[in-house]
Amino acid sequence: MTGPSPTPAEADGRADLHTHSHYSDGVLAPAELVRSAHAAGIRALALTDHDSVAGLAEAQAESKRLGIAFIPGVELSSLHHGMEVHILGYGMDPKNPELLAALERFTQARRGRIEKMVGNLRGLGVAITLEQVLAEAGRGPLGRPHLAAALLKAGLVKNFDEAFAVYIGRRSPAYVEKYRLLPREAVDLIHAAGGLAVIAHPLIGRMTYDGIVALLAAGVDGLEVRHPKMPSEQGERLLQLTRERGLLAGGGSDFHGENRSDAPLGQSTVPMSYAAPLLKGVRA
């Protein structure tokens, strides 16, 4: 089991505060995601699509129908000393003009990045078009997986690994760096929209404990302490940090879909007490 262990007092239900729909890089429609969470016994659910709030209204309506407490969310990409840091926003107003303008900048930057990468590939003699990539993207934010899928469908690579290793990986010739906010900018954006900001999956990847402590200066409200890829001892250490600093504790499955080898809904959850402060903000 990952993350802090539940106590008997937490037997009143579980919450999943980190999930994705097909408006991001997930598989399920928002309503399908809510129904799956309900079937898994989840009592409170947050939809936290990457750089998108497009699925929140649908998820909220289905949550109301099924009696699940719903928390509107978003996951923003930021860059801290060369490392990518994801900031989860909870309970913000999804119609906030400042937030919507920032998300539109992300959308335009994603498209511009893929256009440049397609141009780089064509310069390398790889016959791929933007239209082929867009056809793979569907509703989700445009990204390198869609470019890899287009290359694979066109028979230009044998698999995703080859697409990234040969053409579009970080050290590959067609790569273009993506647009990100600074952590403070992401936090300020969430706060301006009336939300709470939580660092997603800390200590996974290159981020160290000291790095997380330094990030607290960005004004974050909490940390995820449970994630499928986070060992329980790391979760316990982060939980202790939240208690010492008066921060919120969060976490969840980071569910995208069963085909992504994710933890099933209902497996990596947190106590309802973790969701309570977020739900309080939503009601307010």
Residues 176-210: tens digit of each pLDDT: 998 999 999 999 999 999 999 999 999 888 889 99
pLDDT in tens, 48-90: 999 999 999 999 999 999 999 999 999 999 999 888 999 999 9
Residue 161 falls inside a structural domain: yes
**241 and 198 fall within a common domain:** yes
Rounded Cα distance between 35 and 59, Å, is 9
Which residues lie across from 198 on neighbouring strands?
88, 222
**222 and 246 fall within a common domain:** yes
**156 and 216 fall within a common domain:** no
Question: Which of the residue ranges 106-115, 190-199, 200-209, 254-263 would you say has the lowest mean pLDDT?
Answer: 254-263
Residue 174 falls inside a structural domain: no
Please give the single-letter amino acid code of residue 126. Answer: V
Which residues lie across from 42 on neighbouring strands?
14
- Domain CATH for 132: 1.10.150.650
Residue 52 falls inside a structural domain: yes
Residue 51 falls inside a structural domain: yes
Rounded Cα distance between 49 and 72, Å, is 10
Which residues contact residue 72 at a Cβ distance below 8 angstroms, ignoring those fewer than 6 apart?
A: 46, 47, 53, 56, 60, 90, 91, 92, 94, 282
pTM of the model: 0.88
Domain, as residue range, for 267? 14-99+180-283
**137 and 71 fall within a common domain:** no
**186 and 272 fall within a common domain:** yes
**272 and 185 fall within a common domain:** yes
DSSP codes, 200-246: -STTSSS--HHHHHHHGGG---EEEEE-TTS-HHHHHHHHHHHHHHT
- Domain CATH for 43: 3.20.20.140
**92 and 18 fall within a common domain:** yes
Order of strands, sheet of 14-19, starting from the edge strand that comes earlier in the sequence: 248-251, 222-226, 196-199, 83-90, 69-80, 42-47, 14-19, 270-271
**128 and 252 fall within a common domain:** no
Residue 2 falls inside a structural domain: no
Computed over every residue of the chain, the mean pLDDT equals 91
Indicate the number of domains in the chain.
2
